[in-house]
């Protein structure tokens, strides 16, 4: 996957979108190290900054650090300066350009008449600009341009007016878009998921600890067991070892992001009852059925195309080989903001293995193509190492439209697939043939009802009203 579009929109300025990780743990012993471990497990969801907020002695204290979790928190751990409280939340953030510092990192913290409040958020609030203007009119000051700060201030206001349960409900009736949230109000913790369930949020338990996390893998690594997914629209209170559903706001249309299964989430995570690895395996199988290629060997783009390439080869009884060596110490291109860093990272990242590639007809499998620059570079690299033919197979459909729900794909003009045929894309990346999985194949592979998935970036029709975009009313998706 060659991902990451532009972070800065010259017309609209900085975008609030983040691909983030959320963790919250409520226990009987200090929780810092468990939150830290969970955040390390979820590092793939954001590498630019991290934060932990812990309740202790009537106050919530936050530590925010730049960079990778283990590097940022190392000095605090080595010097024994970590907070000692037994309730806390954490956040990994993918930052936007111009905000590559911890100013915009979570958790966000404010002091209110009800005590300290802190929030970690994964997603994107589509009406946050309107809400920020309204709150500003009411005298609420803002220190960042993030939607998370807007959400926290809105929650603080409605909770002060209507109490915790009705206040959260009032805010949820106003907020639009995607939000999976861990919220602390003093020592009480809340797990909140938007009514369409765009981003994952999982509830688990480990001994005396109750955990919420963006992915089940973060619960596994602290020795916990998954209890269940937080349901779309559900608000759960976690306090004194008790888990209580306060209410569930129902939506007629659930919209789990298909991209979690295609690329984002760890393959060992189970999200909304579906194992990510299994979905990826099926994506490769269905791609093989839809778009077989005559070749000598199937090679994945590591790591994003690995599972799909394996099942592609298995389905067609072809040889599978790791023909590209990946430098495991290079950053994921998607996660690195800014063109310079991205280009540098691609060069550092991959090198072909000559004996696998030289003189061979290759099927090159990846999970998706957004801009196409990485794919172009890989095709050219393989040719320079003697590949005879290169047949590109993409285990998801064409991405042709922006995401408004927390994935930083914002401008149509950078999608390689926009208004192009497969042949035109093939020519652009320099391959001998190229094919994508169909939308039907994608839905079948994930194994969910089509009415439970968001596929807005594939169709340009969205499950939430977006100004200037078509709304998905499920009339064009009758497979
Ligand atoms: S538009 Fe695409 S990336 Fe965004 S939530 Fe929907 S499926 Fe996911």
Residues whose CB falls within 8 Å of the CB of residue 344, separated by 6 or more in sequence, listed in order: none
| 3-state SS string for 61-104 | EEEEEECCHHHHHHHHHHCCCCCCCCEEEEEEECCCCCCCCHHH
DSSP string, 313-330: HHHHT-EE---EEE-TTS
Listed residue (411, 335, 433, 417) closest to 369, CA to CA: 417
| Residue-level pLDDT at 6 | 34
Residue 178 CA: which ligand 1 atom is closest? 5
Listed residue (280, 435, 279, 265) closest to 364, CA to CA: 435
Q: State in Å: Cα 258 to ligand 1 middle.
A: 6
Ligand 1 environment, Cβ below 6 A: 198, 257-259, 403, 405, 407, 454-457
Least confident of 105-109, 117-121, 383-387, 407-411: 407-411
Q: Over 60: is that where the pLDDT of 322 sits? A: yes
* Protein residue with least CA distance to atom 5, ligand 1: 257
Residue to probe by mutation, ligand 1, list 257, 261, 472, most atoms within 8 Å of CB = 257
Residues written for the chain: 479
Average pLDDT over residues 105-132: 95
| Residue-level pLDDT at 324 | 96
Residue to probe by mutation, ligand 1, list 254, 455, 466, 472, most atoms within 8 Å of CB = 455
Q: Over 90: is that where the pLDDT of 347 sits? A: no
pLDDT band of residue 94 (cuts 50, 70, 90) is confident
* Protein residue with least CA distance to atom 8, ligand 1: 257
Q: State in Å: Cα 114 to ligand 1 middle.
A: 36
Q: Over 70: is that where the pLDDT of 104 sits? A: yes
Mean pLDDT over each residue of the chain, to the nearest integer: 90
Average pLDDT over residues 155-184: 97
| Residue-level pLDDT at 409 | 86
Residue to probe by mutation, ligand 1, list 176, 194, 368, 456, most atoms within 8 Å of CB = 456
What values do phi and psi take at 181, rounded to 5? -135, 140
* Protein residue with least CA distance to atom 4, ligand 1: 403
**403 part of the active site:** no
> Where is 271: in which H helix or E strand?
strand 270-271
Residues whose CB falls within 8 Å of the CB of residue 388, separated by 6 or more in sequence, listed in order: 359, 360, 361, 362
Average pLDDT over residues 337-363: 78
Which is more confidently placed, 113 or 276? 276
Rounded CA gap, 306 and 283, in Å?
11
Q: Over 60: is that where the pLDDT of 165 sits? A: yes
End-to-end C-alpha distance for the chain, whole angstroms: 27
Q: State in Å: Cα 199 to ligand 1 middle.
A: 10
Residue 259 CA: which ligand 1 atom is closest? 8
Q: State in Å: Cα 453 to ligand 1 middle.
A: 9
Instruction: Catalytic residue, from 20, 26, 257, 454: name it.
Output: 20
Q: Over 90: is that where the pLDDT of 99 sits? A: no
| Residue-level pLDDT at 328 | 75
Listed residue (53, 49, 41, 18) closest to 189, CA to CA: 53
Q: Over 70: is that where the pLDDT of 9 sits? A: no
The string of pLDDT tens digits covering residues 428-460 is 999 999 999 999 999 999 999 989 999 999 999
Say which residue the tokens 């306090």 belong to: 239
| 3-state SS string for 103-168 | HHCCCEEEEECCEEEEEEEEEEECCHHHHHHHHHHCCCCCCCCCHHHHHHHHHHHHHHHHCHHHHH
DSSP string, 199-224: S--EEEEETTEEEEESSHHHHHTTT-
The single-letter DSSP state of residue 334 is: T
Helix axes 164-174, 147-162, angle to 10 degrees: 140
> Where is 390: in which H helix or E strand?
strand 389-394
The string of pLDDT tens digits covering residues 56-92 is 999 999 999 999 999 999 999 999 999 999 999 999 9
| Residue-level pLDDT at 343 | 52
Residue 402 CA: which ligand 1 atom is closest? 1
What values do phi and psi take at 362, rounded to 5? -115, 135
Q: State in Å: Cα 408 to ligand 1 middle.
A: 10
Which is more confidently placed, 282 or 347? 282
pLDDT band of residue 244 (cuts 50, 70, 90) is very high
The single-letter DSSP state of residue 425 is: H
Q: State in Å: Cα 255 to ligand 1 middle.
A: 9
Q: Over 60: is that where the pLDDT of 17 sits? A: no
Average pLDDT over residues 387-398: 98
* Protein residue with least CA distance to atom 2, ligand 1: 457
Residue 198 CA: which ligand 1 atom is closest? 5
The string of pLDDT tens digits covering residues 141-158 is 999 989 999 999 999 999
Burial of 71 from C-beta contacts in 10 A (0-12 / 13-18 / 19+): exposed
pLDDT band of residue 16 (cuts 50, 70, 90) is very low
Residue 401 CA: which ligand 1 atom is closest? 1
pLDDT band of residue 339 (cuts 50, 70, 90) is low
Q: Over 80: is that where the pLDDT of 338 sits? A: no
Rounded CA gap, 52 and 288, in Å?
44
pLDDT band of residue 414 (cuts 50, 70, 90) is confident
Residue 260 CA: which ligand 1 atom is closest? 8
| Residue-level pLDDT at 341 | 53
Q: Over 80: is that where the pLDDT of 5 sits? A: no
Residues whose CB falls within 8 Å of the CB of residue 345, separated by 6 or more in sequence, listed in order: 330, 331, 332, 333, 336
- pTM of the entire predicted model: 0.91
Average pLDDT over residues 372-396: 95
| Residue-level pLDDT at 330 | 61
Q: State in Å: Cα 214 to ligand 1 middle.
A: 16
Which is more confidently placed, 319 or 470? 319
Domains and CATH numbers, the chain: 8-254 (3.60.20.10), 276-451 (3.40.50.2020)
């Amino acid at each position: 996957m060659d991902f990451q579009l532009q972070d800065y929109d010259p017309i609209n300025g900085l975008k609030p979108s983040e691909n983030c990780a959320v963790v919250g743990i409520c226990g009987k012993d200090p929780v810092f190290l468990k939150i830290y471990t969970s955040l390390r497990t979820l590092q793939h969801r954001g590498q630019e900054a991290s934060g932990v907020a812990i309740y202790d002695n009537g106050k919530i204290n936050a530590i925010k650090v730049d960079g990778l979790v283990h590097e940022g928190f190392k000095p605090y751990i080595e010097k024994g300066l970590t907070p000692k409280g037994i309730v806390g939340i954490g956040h990994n953030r993918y930052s936007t350009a111009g905000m590559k510092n911890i100013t915009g990192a979570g958790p966000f913290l404010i002091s209110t008449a009800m005590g300290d409040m802190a929030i970690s958020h994964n997603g994107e609030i589509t009406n946050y600009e309107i809400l920020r203007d309204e709150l500003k009119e009411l005298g609420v000051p803002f220190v960042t341009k993030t939607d998370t700060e807007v959400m926290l201030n809105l929650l603080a206001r409605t909770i002060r007016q209507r109490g915790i349960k009705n206040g959260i409900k009032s805010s949820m009736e106003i907020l639009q878009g995607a939000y999976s949230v861990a919220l602390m109000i003093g020592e009480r913790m809340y797990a909140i998921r938007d009514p369409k369930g765009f981003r994952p949020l999982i509830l688990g338990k480990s001994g005396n600890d109750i955990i919420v996390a963006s992915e089940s893998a973060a619960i596994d690594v602290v020795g916990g067991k998954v209890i269940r997914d937080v349901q779309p629209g559900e608000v759960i209170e976690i306090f004194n070892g008790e888990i209580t559903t306060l209410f569930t706001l129902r939506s007629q249309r659930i919209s789990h992001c298909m991209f979690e299964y295609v690329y984002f989430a760890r393959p060992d995570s189970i999200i909304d009852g579906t194992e990510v690895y299994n979905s990826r395996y099926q994506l490769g199988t269905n791609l093989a059925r839809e778009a077989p290629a005559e070749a000598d060997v199937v090679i994945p783009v590591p790591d994003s195309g690995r599972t799909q390439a394996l099942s592609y080869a298995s389905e067609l009884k072809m040889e599978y080989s790791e023909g590209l060596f990946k430098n495991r110490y290079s950053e994921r291109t998607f996660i690195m903001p800014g063109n310079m860093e991205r280009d540098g990272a691609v060069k550092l990242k991959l090198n072909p293995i000559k004996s696998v590639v030289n003189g061979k007809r290759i099927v090159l499998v990846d999970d998706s193509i957004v801009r196409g620059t990485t794919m172009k570079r890989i095709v050219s690299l393989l040719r320079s190492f003697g590949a005879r033919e290169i047949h590109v197979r993409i285990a998801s459909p064409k991405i042709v439209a922006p995401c408004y729900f927390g994935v930083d794909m914002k401008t149509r003009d950078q999608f390689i697939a926009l208004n192009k045929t497969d042949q035109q894309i093939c020519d652009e990346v320099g391959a001998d043939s190229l094919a994508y999985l169909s939308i039907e194949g994608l839905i079948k592979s994930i194994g969910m009802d089509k009415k439970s998935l968001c596929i807005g970036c594939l169709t340009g029709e969205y499950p939430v009203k977006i100004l200037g975009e078509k709304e998905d009313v499920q009339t064009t998706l009758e497979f």
